Amino acid sequence: MKQNERASFGSKLGIILATAGSAVGLGNIWRFPYLAGENGGAAFIFIYIAFVVVLALPCMVSEFIIGRRGQANAVRAYDLISGGGPWRVIGLMGVLTGFLICSYYTVVSGWCLEYIYASAAGQLKGDPDYIQRFFSSFTVHPWKPILCIVLFFLMTHVIIVRGVEKGIERASKLMMPLLFILLLFIVVASCLLPGASQGISFLFNPDWHAVTGSTLLAALGQAFFSLSLGMGALTTYASYFTRDTNLTKSAAQIAGIDTLVAILAGLMIFPAAFSVGVSPDSGPSLVFITLPNVFQQAFSFAPALGSLVAVMFYALLSLAALTSLISLHEVCTSYLHEEFHITRSRGALIVTSVCTVIAILCSLSFADYDWLTLFGKSLFDLFDFTTSQLLMPIGGFLTCLLLGWFVPRHVVKDEFTNGSTLSARLFAVWLFLVRFVCPIGIAIIFLNQFGVI
Protein backbone atom coordinates (compact mmCIF):
# COMPACT_ATOMS: atom_id res chain seq x y z
CA MET A 1 0.00 0.00 0.00
CA LYS A 2 1.29 3.44 -0.84
CA GLN A 3 1.93 5.79 2.05
CA ASN A 4 -1.12 7.97 1.61
CA GLU A 5 -3.50 5.47 0.14
CA ARG A 6 -6.55 5.01 2.31
CA ALA A 7 -7.18 1.65 3.90
CA SER A 8 -9.95 -0.49 2.44
CA PHE A 9 -11.50 -3.89 2.88
CA GLY A 10 -9.73 -6.48 0.76
CA SER A 11 -12.63 -8.58 -0.51
CA LYS A 12 -16.38 -8.58 -1.12
CA LEU A 13 -16.85 -11.27 1.50
CA GLY A 14 -14.90 -9.14 3.98
CA ILE A 15 -17.17 -6.16 3.27
CA ILE A 16 -20.32 -8.20 3.84
CA LEU A 17 -19.10 -10.00 6.94
CA ALA A 18 -17.63 -6.91 8.63
CA THR A 19 -20.75 -4.83 7.99
CA ALA A 20 -23.08 -7.67 8.95
CA GLY A 21 -20.92 -8.01 12.07
CA SER A 22 -21.79 -4.46 13.00
CA ALA A 23 -25.48 -5.14 12.46
CA VAL A 24 -25.68 -8.50 14.19
CA GLY A 25 -25.44 -7.74 17.89
CA LEU A 26 -27.15 -7.95 21.23
CA GLY A 27 -30.23 -6.35 19.63
CA ASN A 28 -30.82 -9.39 17.43
CA ILE A 29 -30.62 -11.85 20.25
CA TRP A 30 -32.26 -10.23 23.21
CA ARG A 31 -34.86 -8.00 21.63
CA PHE A 32 -36.04 -9.39 18.33
CA PRO A 33 -37.33 -12.80 19.53
CA TYR A 34 -39.24 -11.20 22.36
CA LEU A 35 -40.78 -8.51 20.16
CA ALA A 36 -41.83 -11.14 17.64
CA GLY A 37 -43.34 -13.34 20.34
CA GLU A 38 -45.26 -10.46 21.90
CA ASN A 39 -46.52 -8.96 18.66
CA GLY A 40 -48.10 -11.79 16.76
CA GLY A 41 -45.18 -14.07 15.84
CA ALA A 42 -44.94 -14.40 12.07
CA ALA A 43 -47.19 -11.35 11.69
CA PHE A 44 -44.45 -9.27 13.37
CA ILE A 45 -41.79 -10.95 11.27
CA PHE A 46 -43.64 -9.98 8.05
CA ILE A 47 -44.07 -6.39 9.20
CA TYR A 48 -40.45 -6.22 10.31
CA ILE A 49 -39.22 -7.47 6.95
CA ALA A 50 -41.47 -5.00 5.14
CA PHE A 51 -40.01 -2.13 7.20
CA VAL A 52 -36.49 -3.34 6.61
CA VAL A 53 -37.09 -3.33 2.86
CA VAL A 54 -39.03 -0.08 2.60
CA LEU A 55 -37.44 2.04 5.33
CA ALA A 56 -34.19 0.62 6.65
CA LEU A 57 -32.62 -0.50 3.36
CA PRO A 58 -32.93 2.92 1.70
CA CYS A 59 -31.33 4.51 4.78
CA MET A 60 -28.55 1.96 4.70
CA VAL A 61 -27.85 2.67 1.03
CA SER A 62 -27.82 6.40 1.85
CA GLU A 63 -25.15 5.91 4.51
CA PHE A 64 -23.14 3.76 2.13
CA ILE A 65 -23.31 6.48 -0.54
CA ILE A 66 -22.06 9.14 1.87
CA GLY A 67 -19.24 6.98 3.21
CA ARG A 68 -17.94 5.63 -0.05
CA ARG A 69 -18.15 8.99 -1.77
CA GLY A 70 -16.26 10.68 1.07
CA GLN A 71 -13.59 7.99 1.60
CA ALA A 72 -13.22 9.50 5.05
CA ASN A 73 -14.46 9.29 8.62
CA ALA A 74 -18.14 10.04 9.24
CA VAL A 75 -17.69 13.74 10.03
CA ARG A 76 -15.63 14.50 6.97
CA ALA A 77 -17.76 12.27 4.75
CA TYR A 78 -20.88 14.28 5.63
CA ASP A 79 -18.92 17.47 5.15
CA LEU A 80 -17.69 16.45 1.72
CA ILE A 81 -20.97 15.27 0.28
CA SER A 82 -22.81 18.36 1.51
CA GLY A 83 -20.12 20.75 0.31
CA GLY A 84 -19.37 21.99 3.84
CA GLY A 85 -21.73 23.67 6.23
CA PRO A 86 -23.92 22.47 9.03
CA TRP A 87 -24.46 18.88 7.79
CA ARG A 88 -21.20 17.72 9.36
CA VAL A 89 -23.14 17.88 12.63
CA ILE A 90 -24.74 14.55 11.63
CA GLY A 91 -21.26 13.03 11.54
CA LEU A 92 -20.36 14.61 14.87
CA MET A 93 -23.55 13.24 16.40
CA GLY A 94 -22.52 9.84 15.03
CA VAL A 95 -19.15 10.05 16.78
CA LEU A 96 -20.80 11.08 20.03
CA THR A 97 -23.30 8.21 19.67
CA GLY A 98 -20.39 5.86 18.99
CA PHE A 99 -18.68 6.90 22.24
CA LEU A 100 -21.88 6.52 24.25
CA ILE A 101 -23.03 3.17 22.83
CA CYS A 102 -19.50 1.81 23.05
CA SER A 103 -19.53 2.63 26.74
CA TYR A 104 -22.82 1.03 27.81
CA TYR A 105 -22.73 -1.83 25.30
CA THR A 106 -19.43 -3.00 26.75
CA VAL A 107 -20.96 -3.32 30.20
CA VAL A 108 -23.38 -5.98 28.94
CA SER A 109 -20.76 -7.53 26.68
CA GLY A 110 -18.54 -7.90 29.75
CA TRP A 111 -21.32 -9.70 31.60
CA CYS A 112 -21.39 -12.23 28.75
CA LEU A 113 -17.71 -12.97 29.37
CA GLU A 114 -18.37 -13.58 33.06
CA TYR A 115 -21.30 -15.84 32.16
CA ILE A 116 -19.13 -17.93 29.81
CA TYR A 117 -16.90 -18.58 32.80
CA ALA A 118 -19.77 -19.06 35.24
CA SER A 119 -21.53 -21.59 32.97
CA ALA A 120 -18.32 -23.50 32.34
CA ALA A 121 -17.51 -23.57 36.06
CA GLY A 122 -21.01 -24.85 36.86
CA GLN A 123 -21.87 -21.75 38.91
CA LEU A 124 -25.21 -21.19 37.20
CA LYS A 125 -26.91 -24.15 38.78
CA GLY A 126 -29.65 -23.65 41.33
CA ASP A 127 -33.24 -22.52 41.71
CA PRO A 128 -34.56 -19.40 39.92
CA ASP A 129 -34.07 -17.26 43.04
CA TYR A 130 -30.43 -18.23 43.19
CA ILE A 131 -29.90 -17.33 39.51
CA GLN A 132 -31.58 -13.98 40.12
CA ARG A 133 -29.33 -13.31 43.13
CA PHE A 134 -26.25 -14.42 41.18
CA PHE A 135 -27.03 -11.78 38.55
CA SER A 136 -27.82 -8.95 40.93
CA SER A 137 -24.81 -9.54 43.12
CA PHE A 138 -22.51 -9.84 40.09
CA THR A 139 -23.66 -6.54 38.54
CA VAL A 140 -22.88 -4.63 41.74
CA HIS A 141 -19.67 -6.52 42.56
CA PRO A 142 -16.84 -4.00 43.19
CA TRP A 143 -14.39 -5.31 40.58
CA LYS A 144 -15.63 -8.30 38.57
CA PRO A 145 -17.79 -6.39 36.04
CA ILE A 146 -14.99 -3.84 35.70
CA LEU A 147 -12.45 -6.54 34.92
CA CYS A 148 -14.80 -7.90 32.25
CA ILE A 149 -15.21 -4.43 30.73
CA VAL A 150 -11.45 -3.98 30.57
CA LEU A 151 -11.00 -7.40 28.95
CA PHE A 152 -13.66 -6.66 26.36
CA PHE A 153 -12.11 -3.32 25.49
CA LEU A 154 -8.70 -4.93 25.22
CA MET A 155 -9.99 -7.39 22.62
CA THR A 156 -11.68 -4.59 20.67
CA HIS A 157 -8.58 -2.41 20.93
CA VAL A 158 -6.21 -5.07 19.63
CA ILE A 159 -8.42 -5.66 16.58
CA ILE A 160 -8.85 -1.95 15.83
CA VAL A 161 -5.14 -1.18 16.13
CA ARG A 162 -4.30 -3.85 13.57
CA GLY A 163 -6.15 -1.82 10.96
CA VAL A 164 -9.04 -2.21 8.56
CA GLU A 165 -7.98 -5.21 6.52
CA LYS A 166 -5.75 -7.05 8.97
CA GLY A 167 -7.81 -6.19 12.01
CA ILE A 168 -11.51 -5.59 11.35
CA GLU A 169 -11.86 -7.66 8.18
CA ARG A 170 -9.82 -10.61 9.36
CA ALA A 171 -11.55 -10.72 12.74
CA SER A 172 -14.99 -10.56 11.10
CA LYS A 173 -14.12 -13.35 8.67
CA LEU A 174 -13.21 -15.51 11.62
CA MET A 175 -15.91 -14.51 14.07
CA MET A 176 -19.00 -14.35 11.86
CA PRO A 177 -18.80 -17.96 10.61
CA LEU A 178 -18.10 -19.07 14.19
CA LEU A 179 -21.15 -17.13 15.35
CA PHE A 180 -23.27 -18.96 12.76
CA ILE A 181 -21.96 -22.37 13.80
CA LEU A 182 -22.74 -21.67 17.47
CA LEU A 183 -26.16 -20.33 16.57
CA LEU A 184 -27.07 -23.34 14.44
CA PHE A 185 -25.87 -25.77 17.10
CA ILE A 186 -28.03 -24.17 19.78
CA VAL A 187 -31.04 -23.90 17.42
CA VAL A 188 -30.82 -27.64 16.70
CA ALA A 189 -30.36 -28.53 20.39
CA SER A 190 -33.29 -26.32 21.34
CA CYS A 191 -35.64 -27.54 18.59
CA LEU A 192 -35.01 -31.19 19.47
CA LEU A 193 -36.25 -30.75 23.05
CA PRO A 194 -39.57 -32.35 23.99
CA GLY A 195 -42.40 -29.83 23.56
CA ALA A 196 -40.21 -27.58 21.38
CA SER A 197 -42.83 -27.48 18.62
CA GLN A 198 -45.03 -25.21 20.75
CA GLY A 199 -42.26 -22.62 20.80
CA ILE A 200 -41.75 -22.95 17.07
CA SER A 201 -45.42 -22.41 16.34
CA PHE A 202 -45.56 -19.48 18.78
CA LEU A 203 -42.87 -17.80 16.69
CA PHE A 204 -44.19 -18.75 13.26
CA ASN A 205 -47.98 -18.68 13.61
CA PRO A 206 -49.14 -15.32 12.39
CA ASP A 207 -51.55 -13.82 14.89
CA TRP A 208 -52.76 -10.66 13.19
CA HIS A 209 -54.94 -9.74 16.16
CA ALA A 210 -51.86 -9.10 18.25
CA VAL A 211 -50.73 -6.41 15.80
CA THR A 212 -51.42 -2.88 17.04
CA GLY A 213 -50.04 0.57 16.39
CA SER A 214 -47.29 -0.04 18.89
CA THR A 215 -46.29 -3.19 16.99
CA LEU A 216 -45.48 -1.05 13.98
CA LEU A 217 -43.42 1.33 16.06
CA ALA A 218 -41.57 -1.49 17.76
CA ALA A 219 -40.74 -3.05 14.40
CA LEU A 220 -39.43 0.21 13.01
CA GLY A 221 -37.32 1.04 16.06
CA GLN A 222 -35.88 -2.46 16.13
CA ALA A 223 -35.02 -2.33 12.41
CA PHE A 224 -33.03 0.86 12.94
CA PHE A 225 -31.08 -0.30 15.96
CA SER A 226 -30.48 -3.76 14.61
CA LEU A 227 -29.09 -2.49 11.31
CA SER A 228 -26.79 0.04 13.08
CA LEU A 229 -28.42 2.94 11.24
CA GLY A 230 -28.21 6.65 11.93
CA MET A 231 -24.89 6.88 13.77
CA GLY A 232 -22.05 6.78 11.29
CA ALA A 233 -21.03 3.12 11.68
CA LEU A 234 -22.20 2.22 8.19
CA THR A 235 -20.82 5.45 6.74
CA THR A 236 -17.43 4.71 8.25
CA TYR A 237 -17.39 1.11 7.01
CA ALA A 238 -18.58 2.20 3.56
CA SER A 239 -15.58 4.52 3.35
CA TYR A 240 -13.51 1.30 3.22
CA PHE A 241 -15.66 -0.28 0.48
CA THR A 242 -14.03 -0.72 -2.90
CA ARG A 243 -15.19 1.44 -5.81
CA ASP A 244 -16.85 -1.51 -7.54
CA THR A 245 -18.94 -2.57 -4.53
CA ASN A 246 -22.59 -2.80 -5.52
CA LEU A 247 -24.15 -0.74 -2.72
CA THR A 248 -27.78 -1.86 -3.08
CA LYS A 249 -26.89 -5.53 -3.41
CA SER A 250 -24.55 -5.37 -0.39
CA ALA A 251 -27.20 -3.59 1.68
CA ALA A 252 -29.74 -6.31 0.81
CA GLN A 253 -27.29 -9.07 1.73
CA ILE A 254 -26.38 -7.45 5.05
CA ALA A 255 -30.00 -6.84 5.99
CA GLY A 256 -30.77 -10.44 4.98
CA ILE A 257 -28.05 -11.85 7.25
CA ASP A 258 -29.13 -9.61 10.14
CA THR A 259 -32.77 -10.69 9.82
CA LEU A 260 -31.85 -14.35 9.48
CA VAL A 261 -29.80 -14.19 12.69
CA ALA A 262 -32.69 -12.51 14.50
CA ILE A 263 -35.14 -15.22 13.40
CA LEU A 264 -32.68 -17.98 14.29
CA ALA A 265 -32.27 -16.36 17.71
CA GLY A 266 -36.02 -16.82 18.13
CA LEU A 267 -35.64 -20.46 17.17
CA MET A 268 -32.94 -20.80 19.79
CA ILE A 269 -34.89 -19.20 22.63
CA PHE A 270 -38.59 -20.05 22.19
CA PRO A 271 -38.46 -23.83 21.74
CA ALA A 272 -36.25 -24.23 24.84
CA ALA A 273 -38.36 -21.80 26.89
CA PHE A 274 -41.65 -23.44 25.89
CA SER A 275 -40.33 -26.90 26.55
CA VAL A 276 -39.98 -25.95 30.22
CA GLY A 277 -43.05 -23.71 30.32
CA VAL A 278 -41.20 -20.42 30.92
CA SER A 279 -42.35 -17.31 29.09
CA PRO A 280 -39.38 -15.38 27.75
CA ASP A 281 -38.90 -11.69 28.45
CA SER A 282 -36.40 -9.30 26.87
CA GLY A 283 -33.22 -7.41 27.65
CA PRO A 284 -30.72 -8.25 30.38
CA SER A 285 -33.21 -10.27 32.42
CA LEU A 286 -33.88 -12.61 29.47
CA VAL A 287 -30.22 -13.26 28.87
CA PHE A 288 -28.88 -13.33 32.40
CA ILE A 289 -31.79 -14.61 34.50
CA THR A 290 -34.44 -16.38 32.41
CA LEU A 291 -32.20 -18.26 30.00
CA PRO A 292 -29.76 -19.75 32.55
CA ASN A 293 -32.86 -21.26 34.20
CA VAL A 294 -34.26 -22.45 30.90
CA PHE A 295 -31.00 -24.13 29.85
CA GLN A 296 -30.67 -25.78 33.21
CA GLN A 297 -34.20 -27.17 33.28
CA ALA A 298 -34.51 -28.03 29.59
CA PHE A 299 -31.33 -30.09 29.63
CA SER A 300 -31.82 -31.58 33.07
CA PHE A 301 -31.65 -35.04 31.43
CA ALA A 302 -28.02 -34.24 30.41
CA PRO A 303 -26.57 -31.46 32.61
CA ALA A 304 -23.24 -31.48 30.77
CA LEU A 305 -25.06 -30.72 27.51
CA GLY A 306 -26.96 -27.96 29.32
CA SER A 307 -23.69 -26.37 30.44
CA LEU A 308 -22.22 -26.73 26.97
CA VAL A 309 -25.24 -25.02 25.41
CA ALA A 310 -24.99 -22.23 28.00
CA VAL A 311 -21.26 -21.71 27.35
CA MET A 312 -21.92 -21.65 23.60
CA PHE A 313 -24.79 -19.21 24.05
CA TYR A 314 -22.69 -16.68 25.98
CA ALA A 315 -19.80 -17.14 23.55
CA LEU A 316 -22.24 -16.41 20.74
CA LEU A 317 -23.44 -13.26 22.48
CA SER A 318 -19.87 -12.14 23.13
CA LEU A 319 -18.97 -12.60 19.46
CA ALA A 320 -22.07 -10.73 18.31
CA ALA A 321 -21.29 -7.92 20.75
CA LEU A 322 -17.61 -7.78 19.81
CA THR A 323 -18.20 -7.37 16.07
CA SER A 324 -20.69 -4.57 16.82
CA LEU A 325 -18.34 -2.88 19.26
CA ILE A 326 -15.55 -2.90 16.71
CA SER A 327 -17.71 -0.84 14.36
CA LEU A 328 -18.65 1.59 17.13
CA HIS A 329 -15.02 1.99 18.13
CA GLU A 330 -13.97 2.47 14.52
CA VAL A 331 -16.37 5.41 14.06
CA CYS A 332 -14.57 7.23 16.88
CA THR A 333 -11.05 6.05 16.09
CA SER A 334 -11.18 6.99 12.40
CA TYR A 335 -12.52 10.42 13.36
CA LEU A 336 -9.68 11.14 15.81
CA HIS A 337 -7.06 9.66 13.51
CA GLU A 338 -8.08 11.62 10.43
CA GLU A 339 -9.31 14.90 11.88
CA PHE A 340 -6.64 15.44 14.52
CA HIS A 341 -3.77 13.98 12.50
CA ILE A 342 -2.73 11.49 15.13
CA THR A 343 -1.75 7.90 14.45
CA ARG A 344 -4.45 5.27 14.30
CA SER A 345 -3.07 3.58 17.41
CA ARG A 346 -3.09 6.79 19.38
CA GLY A 347 -6.65 7.52 18.26
CA ALA A 348 -7.68 4.01 19.30
CA LEU A 349 -5.97 4.44 22.65
CA ILE A 350 -7.89 7.63 23.37
CA VAL A 351 -11.20 5.97 22.43
CA THR A 352 -10.47 2.87 24.49
CA SER A 353 -9.38 4.89 27.53
CA VAL A 354 -12.27 7.35 27.47
CA CYS A 355 -14.85 4.63 26.82
CA THR A 356 -13.42 2.38 29.52
CA VAL A 357 -13.80 5.15 32.09
CA ILE A 358 -17.38 5.90 30.99
CA ALA A 359 -18.21 2.18 30.85
CA ILE A 360 -16.97 1.73 34.41
CA LEU A 361 -19.21 4.60 35.52
CA CYS A 362 -22.14 2.98 33.65
CA SER A 363 -21.41 -0.30 35.36
CA LEU A 364 -21.21 1.36 38.78
CA SER A 365 -24.56 3.03 38.08
CA PHE A 366 -26.18 -0.38 38.67
CA ALA A 367 -25.33 -0.01 42.34
CA ASP A 368 -27.79 2.90 42.59
CA TYR A 369 -25.26 5.54 43.53
CA ASP A 370 -27.04 8.89 43.55
CA TRP A 371 -24.13 10.64 41.89
CA LEU A 372 -24.51 8.31 38.90
CA THR A 373 -28.17 9.11 38.36
CA LEU A 374 -29.23 11.89 35.99
CA PHE A 375 -32.79 12.93 35.09
CA GLY A 376 -34.06 10.06 37.21
CA LYS A 377 -32.23 7.44 35.13
CA SER A 378 -29.07 5.48 35.85
CA LEU A 379 -26.18 6.44 33.58
CA PHE A 380 -26.61 3.12 31.74
CA ASP A 381 -30.30 3.73 30.99
CA LEU A 382 -29.67 7.34 30.16
CA PHE A 383 -27.08 6.49 27.49
CA ASP A 384 -29.28 3.75 26.09
CA PHE A 385 -32.21 6.13 25.84
CA THR A 386 -30.23 9.08 24.44
CA THR A 387 -28.63 7.00 21.71
CA SER A 388 -31.30 4.61 20.51
CA GLN A 389 -34.29 6.86 21.04
CA LEU A 390 -32.86 10.29 20.31
CA LEU A 391 -29.58 10.44 18.44
CA MET A 392 -30.01 7.49 16.06
CA PRO A 393 -33.46 8.42 14.72
CA ILE A 394 -32.40 12.07 14.37
CA GLY A 395 -29.25 10.96 12.52
CA GLY A 396 -31.28 8.74 10.16
CA PHE A 397 -33.88 11.44 9.53
CA LEU A 398 -31.30 14.14 8.71
CA THR A 399 -29.34 11.75 6.49
CA CYS A 400 -32.46 11.13 4.38
CA LEU A 401 -33.15 14.85 4.12
CA LEU A 402 -29.57 15.53 3.09
CA LEU A 403 -29.43 12.92 0.32
CA GLY A 404 -33.04 13.23 -0.76
CA TRP A 405 -33.29 16.99 -0.98
CA PHE A 406 -29.92 18.75 -0.78
CA VAL A 407 -27.16 16.80 -2.48
CA PRO A 408 -27.33 17.27 -6.29
CA ARG A 409 -29.14 14.35 -7.88
CA HIS A 410 -26.33 13.55 -10.34
CA VAL A 411 -23.83 13.13 -7.49
CA VAL A 412 -26.09 10.70 -5.66
CA LYS A 413 -26.95 8.82 -8.85
CA ASP A 414 -23.30 8.56 -9.81
CA GLU A 415 -22.44 6.91 -6.49
CA PHE A 416 -25.58 4.75 -6.54
CA THR A 417 -24.70 3.33 -9.96
CA ASN A 418 -20.91 3.19 -9.46
CA GLY A 419 -20.36 5.88 -12.10
CA SER A 420 -23.11 4.53 -14.41
CA THR A 421 -21.59 1.06 -14.56
CA LEU A 422 -24.58 -0.46 -12.75
CA SER A 423 -28.23 -0.36 -13.71
CA ALA A 424 -30.13 2.72 -12.49
CA ARG A 425 -33.44 0.83 -12.46
CA LEU A 426 -33.90 1.09 -8.70
CA PHE A 427 -32.63 4.64 -8.38
CA ALA A 428 -36.00 6.37 -8.79
CA VAL A 429 -37.64 4.04 -6.27
CA TRP A 430 -34.83 4.56 -3.78
CA LEU A 431 -34.95 8.34 -4.20
CA PHE A 432 -38.70 8.39 -3.64
CA LEU A 433 -38.32 6.35 -0.45
CA VAL A 434 -35.48 8.52 0.85
CA ARG A 435 -37.30 11.76 0.05
CA PHE A 436 -40.71 10.95 1.44
CA VAL A 437 -41.29 7.56 3.00
CA CYS A 438 -38.23 7.28 5.27
CA PRO A 439 -38.26 10.77 6.80
CA ILE A 440 -42.01 10.54 7.44
CA GLY A 441 -41.70 7.02 8.89
CA ILE A 442 -38.83 8.00 11.19
CA ALA A 443 -40.57 11.21 12.26
CA ILE A 444 -43.66 9.21 13.22
CA ILE A 445 -41.78 6.78 15.48
CA PHE A 446 -39.77 9.59 16.97
CA LEU A 447 -42.74 11.79 17.83
CA ASN A 448 -44.86 8.88 18.94
CA GLN A 449 -42.39 7.74 21.56
CA PHE A 450 -42.73 11.14 23.22
CA GLY A 451 -46.50 11.00 23.01
CA VAL A 452 -46.66 13.93 20.57
CA ILE A 453 -48.76 11.95 18.06
- Enumerate binding residues for ligand PHE (CB under 6 A): 22-23, 25-28, 101, 225-226, 228, 231, 233, 324, 327-328
d(CA 416, CA 409): 10
Question: Which residue number, 226 or 363, has a Cβ lying nearer to ligand PHE?
Answer: 226
Smallest distance, ligand PHE to C-beta of residue 25, A: 2
User: In angstroms, what CA-CA distances link 35 with 39, 295, 381?
Assistant: 6, 21, 19
Question: Which residue number, 103 or 324, has a Cβ lying nearer to ligand PHE?
Answer: 324
Smallest distance, ligand PHE to C-beta of residue 234, A: 8
Smallest distance, ligand PHE to C-beta of residue 331, A: 8
Smallest distance, ligand PHE to C-beta of residue 22, A: 5
Question: Which residue number, 26 or 65, has a Cβ lying nearer to ligand PHE?
Answer: 26
Question: Which residue number, 74 or 438, has a Cβ lying nearer to ligand PHE?
Answer: 74
Question: Which residue number, 28 or 190, has a Cβ lying nearer to ligand PHE?
Answer: 28
| Cβ contact 22:233 at 8 Å | yes
Smallest distance, ligand PHE to C-beta of residue 101, A: 6
Smallest distance, ligand PHE to C-beta of residue 97, A: 7
Question: Which residue number, 72 or 223, has a Cβ lying nearer to ligand PHE?
Answer: 223
Question: Which residue number, 324 or 334, has a Cβ lying nearer to ligand PHE?
Answer: 324
Smallest distance, ligand PHE to C-beta of residue 228, A: 4
Question: Which residue number, 26 or 298, has a Cβ lying nearer to ligand PHE?
Answer: 26
Smallest distance, ligand PHE to C-beta of residue 21, A: 9
Smallest distance, ligand PHE to C-beta of residue 16, A: 15
Question: Which residue number, 14 or 306, has a Cβ lying nearer to ligand PHE?
Answer: 14
In the complex, residue closest to ligand PHE by CB: 25
Question: Which residue number, 225 or 274, has a Cβ lying nearer to ligand PHE?
Answer: 225
d(CA 377, CA 283): 17
- What b/e sequence results for 252-284 when a residue is b if at least 16 CB atoms lie within 10 Å of its CB, and e otherwise? bbbbebbbebbbbbbbbbbbbbbbbebebbbeb
Q: How many CA atoms lie within 13 A of 333 on its CB side?
A: 27
Smallest distance, ligand PHE to C-beta of residue 324, A: 4
